[in-house]
Structures are given as structure tokens and as C-alpha cells.
Amino acid sequence: MTRVEARGRCAVITCMSPSQPGFLDFAYRVHALAASHHVTLISNIDLDIAEFRVAHVQHVQVPMPEGQWGWLRFLARCAALLRAGHFDRVMLLHSAVAPLAMACRAMHLPVVLYWNEHPTHLAPPCGWSQPLSKVIRGLVRRLMFAGARAADLVMPIGEAHHQDLLAHGVRAQCAQLVPMGVASAFRAEHSRGARRSDEPLQLIYIGTVAADRGRDVMFEAMAQVQAQSHLRGRAHLTIVGVQPDQMAECQGRVERLGLQGSVSLVGRVPGHDIPSLLQRAHVGLCLWEDRVWYRFNPPTKLFEYLVAGLPVLASNIRTHTAYVRDGVNGFIFDYSPHGLATAIARILSSDLDWQAINFSAWAAGEPYLWSTIQPRFLQAFSQAGR
């Protein structure tokens, strides 16, 4: 028996946005599985990047055309690879590939599903003025939940997802909450240096740069802060994750709003470079427009900020407020330029105990260290389907 055969063969299938800036929560799981399996990583985009380069991982790219029909074609091609691959186990590493659990069941393959996005994100609700779209999107959502019910185990990333899966018929014994996790490299000691009152407040945002994720809110809020003479020059925002095709537009906004000295734009950086960026910041920014799917998905960066000892400046949506306590380990604001500008002014105008806030953030992040979560993940994965 060869060494690869002794290790077992595991297919990991994922489906990601081409503009996605972060991969770490997926990479943690691939690395963990590769320690005990020969992994075939199947994705719609090229994942031969630093985060996924590890022994015993073979990369297979299956291009996915746009739209719902392209998604179905992608799933069909992945199912064909599963049938031909002689795998022992399957990890579906994204909600978008949930329907493949039904194919795995037909092949008698043990399958675990990582449930990280709500089906309404892939197929948003629409009105009666679009009857065909309404029917198709409804079928897509039903198909995803049917896949969740077919999986041997579903791993939702948050409590809201967990409760929603149970409400959609997933059996309680087949749903286990396993948070995303954060690498120990992000971990700050609780003695992290406090911000001095005479230095500019360093804000940082890491993630997808898009309108519904607060892109315009951030720019306009910073312009409002700079427009106040007593606050001008006292806050600086670094936005990390700007895609090449977005950079010109973002730079144009910075210039039009006169933010050249108060906003820095950085492209996508490898995951291992993020901790050093966080160490130079004072506050981490999380902001989402209140859309249905964002009410279920706690963002990866929220936990990375906390583990790094950064208080979180977060918009008022339950996927933030479930983890951030205003004035304790972060600050909550109403999602609008005025709301964010007011929150920044509040931080600058308050006599805050930064050491206490940093410590509270650090303590809140400790349960989300991947070193703590990984054993639970691997045990649940190995026992699923037995």
C-alpha cells in the first residue's frame, strides 16, 4: 500500500468570487485536512496561491460561467469529478456547493458541508415584476437547503446560520457550529501598546471593497470628519483589499473628496501579511448594509481584529452586535456616512481607557483561535457519516 493510499483521499470543493480578497478561513481547513489526507482541491478559480500551497494537495480548476445556469454546470462537472475520483470523503467548502451533498449521498460518500453564506446571497429575493427570476432564485435557494439536509454534517459559522438551518429541516445532530477561526499569527499579547492621545487614530478596513460593504460610507464619513476643523488630520483610514479594476475609481473618490492625506488604498495582500498591518492600527472597521444575507454571516475580519487586540468599529447589524459590545471591545454605529463620522468623532473626543479596550478585544477574540477550533473541526469531519 502506498503512503498516499494510507492517508486516504479527500475531495475539497469550493466556489469563490474572482474578486475575493481573503481566503484564510478556507485555507485553515485545507491545511488541516492535508495533514491526514491526500487532498484534491477543486475550485472555480485558480487557488495555486500562497495560502493553499501545502503538501498532499492537488489543485483542479473548473471554470464557472456566469449566472445560475453557469453555477449548475459547475456543480455538474464537480459531481463528475467526484464519481471518477475514488475519494473516501468529501468536504464542501462553501454554501454555494451545498447541492453536491445530494450527489455524494447517491455515491455513498461521507460529506461535510461548510455553511458560510446564506442562500439569499447567491439568489436574492426579487419582486413579482420579475416572475421568472423569482421562480428561478427560489429554486436555487431550495436546492441549497436541500443539499444542507443531505449532508452528513453541516458546519455553520455562526449561531444565526445554525438556527436558520434547523428551521429549514436540518437535523440537530447533523448541524454543529464551528466558527471560522483565526491563526495564532494574528494574536496580540494583552499588553499591546495603548494609543497615545496626541497621535492620529489609525483605522483599518480589510476585505471586499464594494458599495454594499460600505465603500462609499467610508469615503464620505472620512470627508465629514476632515471637514470639522477640530478633527482634521486626527484620523487616518487604510483600506486593504482594493482590486486592480477598482483602484482607479477609489483613487478618484479620494481625490474628489480631498482625502489624499487621510485615506490610503492598498491592494490585496497575502494572508500572512495581514497581522503586521493590524499591529499598526488602533481600530478595525466592519460595516455592512443591512441586507438579508449579511444578517447571518459574521465577517472573518471581525474575529481577526479581536484576536489582534483591536477594538472593532462596527455597523449596527446582528452579525456584528453579537460579538461587539459598544464601549467595551468596540463601538457600534448606524450604517451611514453620518453615523460612521459621528462614531469616529466620539472616539477622538472621548477620554478612553485604550488598554482596557484593547484587553477586552483580545479576550473576546481568544475563543476564535484556529488552534482551539481545529481539533473540533477534524474530529467532527472524521466522525461524520459513520
pLDDT at 218: 98
pLDDT at 4: 40
Transcribe 72-141 into DSSP letters: HHHHHHHHHHHHHHT-SEEEE-SGGGTTHHHHHHHTT--EEEEE-S-HHHHS----TTSHHHHHHHHHHH
pLDDT at 127: 72
pLDDT at 194: 66
Q: What is the side-by-side order of every strand in the sheet holding 283-286?
A: 263-267, 235-242, 201-206, 283-286, 312-315, 330-333
Which of these, 9, 56, 33, 15, lies nearest to 377 by C-alpha position? Answer: 33
Question: Which residues does the chain have with pLDDT short of 50?
Answer: 1-5
261 contacts: CB under 8 Å, gap ≥ 6:
233, 236
pLDDT at 6: 59
Distances (CA, A) of 205 to 209, 292, 335: 9, 22, 15
What is the sign of the dihedral through the CA atoms of 35, 39, 42 and 47?
positive
pLDDT at 62: 96
pLDDT at 5: 45
pLDDT at 306: 96
Name beta bridge partners: 355: none
